[in-house]
Amino acid sequence: MSSALVVVGYALRESLRRRVFLVVLVLTAGFLGLYWLGAREAFDDTSGFATGVENVVDTRAFTGATIFGMAMFATLFLGIVLVIFLTLSVVRGDAERGLLQPLVVRPLGRSTLLLARWGGATAVSSLYVLVVYFAALLITKSAGDWTPDHVVGPALALTGGVAAVAALSLLGSVYLSTTANGIAIFMLFGAGLTAGLLGSIGNALENDTLEDVAAVASWALPFEALYQAGLHALISETTGLTGVILQLGPFGVANGASNAIVPWTLVYVGLVLGAAVWAFGRRDL
């Protein structure tokens, strides 16, 4: 355990010294500033739209859920970018640069090294996602006095998505060089999002094929299912025309995820990490 903490501390110090956190902090402040401006303007403008349909559409819920859904996507994207860059070169990339060998010959063991790198990257990226999520939530509340139907669930769904991508990135790092792994994981992330979008379209059109594609993708890439579940939880108790419109919107989801998605994500992360540890253990350096 102490060796694992040494590795986690080493990874965190590296990120601090390389100014990763500083860059992330500055860019996140920029994002949140823009989000505050956008939220304020959106709530101001849509309050005018509501004049004739006030009893039919809850414009505050409509605006809040739409822009906060967008913030959730941005939060997940930023968290995924962070976790991929923290993990994409852990094995093969570091071995090719000669950084890994002096560490691996120490008594800590390969599995401890790998799991510690996953734990460190997941912890940092999850904390980051939570901070950005709740900052966006506060901004939305202050700009339009709107809060989602569920607050904690969507936040935890985002952290689960980050943990799953971190595991995939570590597994990829055993086999792929740094650049190839980065490209592969970003493409997987994009594929998952596309599948989720197809599922939403399929649901609106009642197209079974598209819904099946989305269902398979959600099990194969559970970060997408978690994101969809988080989006759904934002408006799961919003009813009437407002609810229907939100479900059809760009950040709307008609159905929540299966109850099995959380335990499946835990199993999935365990399986992917197990595969990474097994592959790393057999890899000649």
Partner 1 sequence: MPEALSASALVKRYGAALALDGVDLSVAPGELVGLLGPNGAGKSTLTKIACGLVRPTSGTAHVCGAPAGSAAARRALGYLAELFRFPDWCSADEVLALHQRLAGSDGGEAERAELLSLVGLAHAREVRVAAMSKGMQQRLGIAQALVGDPRLVLLDEPTSALDPVGRRTVRDLLESLRARGVGVLLNSHLLSEVELVCDRVAIIDHGSVVAAGRPSELARPRGVEVETAAGKRVFAEAGRDDAPRIVSELVAAGEPVYGVRVLTSTLEDVYLEAVGE
Q: What's the closest the beta carbon of residue 22 comes to partner 1, in angstroms?
A: 13
Q: What's the closest the beta carbon of residue 99 comes to partner 1, in angstroms?
A: 5
Residue type, 215: A
Q: What's the closest the beta carbon of residue 172 comes to partner 1, in angstroms?
A: 21
Spatial contact of 249 and 66, defined as CB atoms under 8 Å apart: yes
Place of tokens 């988080």: 230
Cβ proximity to partner 1: between 55 and 282 the closer is 282
Cβ proximity to partner 1: between 215 and 285 the closer is 285
Place of tokens 């970060």: 223
Q: What's the closest the beta carbon of residue 278 comes to partner 1, in angstroms?
A: 13
- Rounded-to-integer distance, Cα 192 and Cα 173, Å: 20
Q: What's the closest the beta carbon of residue 91 comes to partner 1, in angstroms?
A: 12
Question: Contact residues for partner 1 (CB under 8 A)?
Answer: 2-3, 6, 10, 13-14, 17-18, 97-99, 101-109, 282, 284-285
Q: What's the closest the beta carbon of residue 121 comes to partner 1, in angstroms?
A: 16
- Integer CA distances (angstroms), 31 to 35, 74, 125, 136, in order: 6, 9, 16, 10
- Rounded-to-integer distance, Cα 102 and Cα 99, Å: 7
Cβ proximity to partner 1: between 206 and 284 the closer is 284
Cβ proximity to partner 1: between 48 and 107 the closer is 107
Cβ proximity to partner 1: between 105 and 152 the closer is 105
146 Rama class: left (phi>0) / alpha (psi -120 to 50) / beta: beta
- Rounded-to-integer distance, Cα 232 and Cα 257, Å: 8
Q: For the chain, how many helices (H) and strands (E)?
A: 12, 0
Q: What's the closest the beta carbon of residue 176 comes to partner 1, in angstroms?
A: 19
Please count the other Cβ atoms lying within 10 Å of the Cβ belonging to residue 263.
10
Query: Alpha-carbon torsion 101, 107, 109, 112, what sign?
Result: negative
HSE on the CB side for 261, CA within 13 Å?
A: 27
Cβ proximity to partner 1: between 14 and 145 the closer is 14
Cβ proximity to partner 1: between 10 and 36 the closer is 10
